[in-house]
Amino acid sequence: MTLNIQQFQQLARQCLSNDDATLEIELMLCQVLNKNRIFLRTWPETLLTETQLNQLNEYLQQRQQGVPLAYLLGERAFWTLNLTVNPDVLIPRSDTECVVEKVLALGQGKQWRVVDLGTGSGAIVLSIAKEHPEWVVVATDLYPQSLAIAQQNAEKNQIPNVEFVQGSWFEPLTGLFDCIVSNPPYIIENDPHLQALSHEPQRALVAAEQGLADLRHIVQLSGRFLYDQGYLVLEHGFDQGQAVRDLLQASGFSQIMTGQDFGGNDRYTVGQYVK
Ligand SMILES: C[S@@+](CC[C@H](N)C(=O)[O-])C[C@H]1O[C@@H](n2cnc3c(N)ncnc32)[C@H](O)[C@@H]1O
């Protein structure tokens, strides 16, 4: 069968029912053709080769089975970066960009030392380090496979000012920081939403104690690793704002506030540590 770009888009649209199917089909085409979206719109009559069609059909089948597009394409855009992703790391979410924005706003005009706990693909830490090549930036993750991807992303995006260290939360850290940022696992075990996330690593998603175990651990230890008046910025679930504010208050933080993501849901909480 011979198909051009536009014909493939029309057929593929009948196979995928998700809200962003049109964008996903464009991204599949961009990767297979090695062209950008402007090309697709400018040259919709371009004929697809048999090899290209086979690859596109394979993508469509896997998408129908629920494999996330980012894992099929091996990449995901985040902030100003193009990040390599595979099933060893969580696919970075655009909601996490509001955490990056907050850290950048707090640190504006300052010379900071920052750590990102549980860096995964490196989404948060690399976005911050790219905006501030003069900052000293550290990233941790428990899993060497995740750190390997984050390091690969640092190289791919030419961001040299990040040190990657492996270990559980604060374990591999030395010295003090002006800001600790983290997007730890925070989904409750048995949460029905986990079914839709079954292709992503559960160790990046699920936390015990109603999803609060890792958030609590990080809040309770952060004071030891912050300079006087240092900040803790934590991503959390849309319904965990009050619980995280309470944790920060109980651990001696002040100036506590919760911020919203682009969908208007509570998404992160910040506190300042005064020694
Ligand atoms: C929700 S993902 C966040 C990934 C990335 N920071 C992001 O925002 O896309 C949580 C990350 O925490 C890491 N993690 C889980 N338990 C950990 C631990 N005990 N110490 C350090 N990192 C851990 C996971 O490997 C995963 O990369």
pLDDT digits (tens, 9 = 90+) for 57-101: 999 999 999 999 999 999 999 999 999 999 999 999 999 999 999
**Cβ–Cβ under 8 Å, residues 39 and 91:** no
Length of the chain, in residues: 275
Q: Whose CA is nearest to atom 16 of ligand 1?
A: 142
pLDDT of residue 92: 98
Which atom from ligand 1 is nearest to the alpha carbon of 182?
A: 6
How far is 239 from 92, CA to CA, in rounded Å? 20
Q: Which residues line ligand 1 (CB under 6 A)?
A: 90, 92, 96, 117-121, 123-124, 140-143, 146, 168-169, 183-185, 203-204
pLDDT at position 1: 78
pLDDT of res. 148: 98
Predicted confidence (pLDDT) per residue in 167-181, tens digit: 999 999 999 999 999
Asked if the 76-273 domain carries CATH number 3.40.50.150, the reply is yes
Question: What are 135-188's pLDDT values in tens digits?
Answer: 999 999 999 999 999 999 999 999 999 999 999 999 999 999 999 999 999 999
How would you write 185-252 as a 3-class SS string? Answer: CCEECCCHHHHHHCCCCHHHCEECCCCCHHHHHHHHHHHHHEEEEEEEEEECCCCCHHHHHHHHHHCC
- pLDDT over 90 at 215, yes or no: yes
What pLDDT score was predicted for residue 3?
96
Q: How far is the CA of 50 from the centre of ligand 1 (A)?
A: 40
pLDDT at 108: 97
pLDDT at 35: 97
DSSP for residue 75: E
Is residue 125 pLDDT above 90, yes or no?
A: yes
Evaluate whether 199 touches 240 at the Cβ level (below 8 Å): no
Q: Ligand 1 centroid vs 149 CA: distance in angstroms? A: 13
Average pLDDT of 256-266?
97
Please tell me what DSSP assigns to residue 95.
Answer: G
pLDDT at 147: 97
Distance between Cα 124 and ligand 1 center (Å) = 11
Q: What is the mean pLDDT of the chain?
A: 97
* Biggest alpha carbon–alpha carbon distance for the chain: 70
The two tokens of residue 53 are 């069609």
Residue 275: is its pLDDT beyond 90?
Answer: no
Instruction: Report the pLDDT value the prediction gives residue 34, as an integer from 0 to 100.
Output: 97
Atom 24 of ligand 1, residue of closest alpha carbon: 204
Look at residue 103 in the predicted model and tell me its pLDDT: 98
Q: Which has the closest alpha carbon to 127: 167, 171, 162? A: 162
Residue 119 CA to ligand 1 centre (angstroms): 6
- The percentage of the chain sitting over the pLDDT mark of 90, rounded to a whole number, equals 98
**Residue 118's pLDDT band (boundaries 50, 70, 90)?**
very high
**Predicted confidence (pLDDT) per residue in 40-59, tens digit:** 999 999 999 999 999 999 99
